[in-house]
Structure 1
């Protein structure tokens, strides 16, 4: 378990250091995830050793939302002042994400249909 946790946290740390030191516009944890995915692609046997610990972590993933909930409760004053702007941003970003997802799907479908014919 310690090896798995140290590998996961090391990937995140390396990604964070790379993002901050190189001034990249990508969050460090995303770079760490890419590093982990690359490591799993290069060494597929690594997935078998990570699976037991990762399964336990994923089973308790809901605990990760507790700090976010505490943050929301801690900032209720800001939320009560700017609720309309936050609502507009949340709705518009959700709609935009859905439109982009549909557009991407349609584009990939067109590409795969033209290649198969």
Structure 2
């Protein structure tokens, strides 16, 4: 398990270094996890110990929202003053996300239908045997 923690921290650290050095507009954690994903894709498998680590972290995920909640409460006066723009951003972002997801799912479903022959697209020989 310690080796897998080191693996995750290595990729997160490399993401931090690359983000700072190259002035990338991507959060370093996102870049680090993308690099970890790339490594695992090249390997073709996820080590069982890394799966165990991921499961443990997912069990503790709720704790990561505590600091965010405390920050919201600490800056409640700012939220009250900017409630309308914040609400518009949340509703607008949600609407854009839902629409984008619907368009992507629709596109993927259409391309799958095009690439997979239907029930009635059998070769002509098979059709003639069915009619007989």
TM-score (norm 1): 0.88
- Residue 98 of structure 1 and its aligned partner are, at CA, apart by 0.4
Cross-structure match for 1:113: 113
Q: CA RMSD in A?
A: 1.7
Distance 1:19 1:107 in 2: 33
Cross-structure match for 1:41: 41
The structure in which a higher percent of residues are helix is: 1
Distance 2:115 2:44 in 1: 30
Count how many residue pairs are aligned between Structure 1 and Structure 2. Answer: 117
Cross-structure match for 2:104: 104
Cross-structure match for 1:30: 30
- Residue 20 of structure 1 and its aligned partner are, at CA, apart by 2.3
Cross-structure match for 1:11: 11
- Residue 44 of structure 1 and its aligned partner are, at CA, apart by 4.8
Cross-structure match for 1:90: 90
Q: CA 1:45/1:101 → structure 2, altered by over 3 Å: closer, same or farther?
A: closer
Q: CA 1:17/1:59 → structure 2, altered by over 3 Å: closer, same or farther?
A: same
- Residue 105 of structure 1 and its aligned partner are, at CA, apart by 0.7
Name the SS of the counterpart of 2:47 in structure 1: helix
TM-score (norm 2): 0.79
Distance 1:39 1:8 in 2: 11
Name the SS of the counterpart of 2:113 in structure 1: helix
Structure 1: unaligned runs, 5 residues or longer: none
Bigger CA drift: 100-109 or 50-59?
50-59
Which of the two has higher C-alpha Rg?
2
Cross-structure match for 1:56: 56
